[in-house]
Amino acid sequence: MNNLRTFSRGGIHPPEGKGATSVQPIRNAPLPSMAVVPFSQHIGAPAKPLVEPGDHVNEAQMIGEPAGFVSAAVHSPIPGTVKEIRSLYLPSGMKTDAAVIELDGEFSRLGKPVQIRDWKSMQTDELLSILKNHGVVGQGGATFPSHVKFAVPKGRTCDVFLVNAAECEPYLSADHRVMLERTEDVIEGIRIIKKVLNPQRVIIGIEANKPDAVAKLAAAGAADGIEVMVLKVKYPQGAEKNLIEATTGREIPSGKLPIEVGVINTNIGTLVSVAEAVRDDKPVIERVITVAGGAIREPGNIRARVGSSVRDLIEECGGFSEDPVKFISGGPMMGFAFGDLDTPVIKGTSGILALTAREVRSFEPTACLSCGRCIDACPVGLSPTLIFKNVEHELLDEAAALGLDDCVLCGACAYSCPAHIPLVSAFRAARGRRRRLAARSKG
């Protein structure tokens, strides 16, 4: 196992914490009696609302249409009545409007047979249009609209389609269970995107701690020539740049996208949504989410409707076994802390963690010790301590010159820092300030 492929610089080995959920089959969450559906669940422009209070909507009806090139459609997860349009903040800090829908009416899909659509004769533009109108976005965290990601720019070619099956974040195992329980849907999603991209190779990059998923994917994908590449267990193996280096040996230049080196990648959950959209005519109205952490009585993986509340999903997992001290949307390394249990699930919600005092290290930061551990841990070869010192003094251009925008916000530096300096939160905030300053200068 020591000769497994991985990225060349840095990386860490935090406790995995997946044992409580990785062996638990996916179960369905109860349907929400009230769904809060944000119009911004993706990178790019928020969807343009198509409904107003008092409107009745059907399950899977489009309630928000894409409002720009980089935007995504939003659909109602339940049949019901729109009670209000409300503003709220998501755990990421993004403010968005949301449709509040009260359950009322018949489900069009629940338990009913789905007519399979023959997609093999469709053209690329038609397939991309389906992804756009069905609201398919990346489900690995970035939530980039899939119809944009899979549209290869003129003058570029994609020779490697890379599937991110690493799921390297501690606690999270939703992708692992999807690979085991919905293997054929994953492969069908790959076949659809292969038709769009026409790559020379399809590679599934997966960490060695999922041997059961490796076996299932290898067997299911063999006839399609899909390569299942087993990788070393090292965080952040699933970060886009690191996964591309580990599987292909290619390095993305600073400020460039994967297509610059002939690669387009996507996440496991996204592929299931691709298959459902194209084959089954089903928009993204649900996803699988890991609900875990030491404070959860019955941790597991839950298939939940978009717009369901965190509170309801925690109750579905038995509630709290002890008082949590921190809630995180996503994983503990790259996720977002939040405090409102009425926060809704969105397309990019990979996990809900309720952590205990034993799991959360709480220390007051001290001055940098100049120990270099953050530099050793950084998977993209940056000097986090030097970037932080410039950010701390509001020297944002200098921080950018040192690689602020190349940081993948993986948290390896902060995890390794004996001074407990909040490096990642400082970098994320500094990037936000730079974007706002740039927008003002243009305006």
pLDDT in tens, 261-293: 999 999 999 999 999 999 999 999 999 999 999
Mean pLDDT of 2-12: 91
Of the candidates 281, 269, 306, the residue with the CA atom closest to the CA atom of residue 114: 281
Mean pLDDT of 117-143: 93
| 197 alpha carbon, distance to own chain's centre | 22
Mean pLDDT of 1-6: 79
**Does residue 72 lie within any of the structural domains?**
no
Domain span at residue 378 reads 373-442
Same domain, 268 and 141: yes
Question: Which residues have a Cβ under 8 Å from the Cβ of 155 and sit 6 or more positions away?
Answer: none
Give residue 32's pLDDT band: very low, low, confident or very high (50, 70, 90).
very high
The two tokens of residue 280 are 């089954």
Element (H, E) at 428: helix 423-442
**Does residue 237 lie within any of the structural domains?**
yes
Element (H, E) at 36: strand 34-38
Same domain, 138 and 245: yes
3-state secondary structure of 344: strand
Same domain, 382 and 263: no
Same domain, 239 and 138: yes
**pLDDT on residue 443:** 62
**Does residue 403 lie within any of the structural domains?**
yes
Tens of pLDDT, residues 46-79: 999 999 999 999 999 999 999 999 999 999 999 9
Q: Read off φ and ψ for residue 183, nearest 5 degrees.
A: -55, -45
Last residue of a domain, one of 226, 255, 280: 280
**Does residue 154 lie within any of the structural domains?**
yes
**In the predicted structure, residue 28 carries a pLDDT above the cut 90:** yes
Question: Which residues have a Cβ under 8 Å from the Cβ of 435 and sit 6 or more positions away?
Answer: none
Same domain, 270 and 382: no
**Does residue 118 lie within any of the structural domains?**
no
State the CATH number of the domain containing residue 192: 3.40.50.11540
Last residue of a domain, one of 211, 245, 280: 280
Give residue 362's pLDDT band: very low, low, confident or very high (50, 70, 90).
confident
**In the predicted structure, residue 350 carries a pLDDT above the cut 90:** yes
Tens of pLDDT, residues 280-338: 999 999 999 999 999 999 999 999 999 999 999 999 999 999 999 999 999 999 999 99
**Does residue 61 lie within any of the structural domains?**
no
Type of residue at 85:
I
Of the candidates 203, 397, 182, the residue with the CA atom closest to the CA atom of residue 301: 182
User: What is the domain count for the chain?
Assistant: 2
**pLDDT on residue 116:** 83
Tens of pLDDT, residues 414-433: 999 999 999 999 999 999 99
Using CA atoms, how far residue 329 sits from 16, 98, 168, 337, 346, in Å, is 17, 18, 16, 6, 10
Same domain, 274 and 377: no
**In the predicted structure, residue 107 carries a pLDDT above the cut 90:** no
Last residue of a domain, one of 235, 252, 280: 280
Same domain, 276 and 380: no
Element (H, E) at 243: helix 240-248
Question: Which position has the token pair 């008082």?
Answer: 323
Maximum CA pair distance of the chain?
A: 62
**Does residue 290 lie within any of the structural domains?**
no
**In the predicted structure, residue 361 carries a pLDDT above the cut 90:** no
Mean pLDDT of 354-361: 92
**pLDDT on residue 325:** 96
3-state secondary structure of 288: strand
**In the predicted structure, residue 112 carries a pLDDT above the cut 80:** no
Give residue 439's pLDDT band: very low, low, confident or very high (50, 70, 90).
confident
**In the predicted structure, residue 190 carries a pLDDT above the cut 60:** yes
**Burial state string for 416-436 with b = 16 or more CB within 10 A and e = fewer than 16:** bbebebebbebbbebbeebee
Mean pLDDT of the chain: 94
Give residue 83's pLDDT band: very low, low, confident or very high (50, 70, 90).
very high
**Does residue 190 lie within any of the structural domains?**
yes
In angstroms, the CA 91 to CA 435 distance is 19
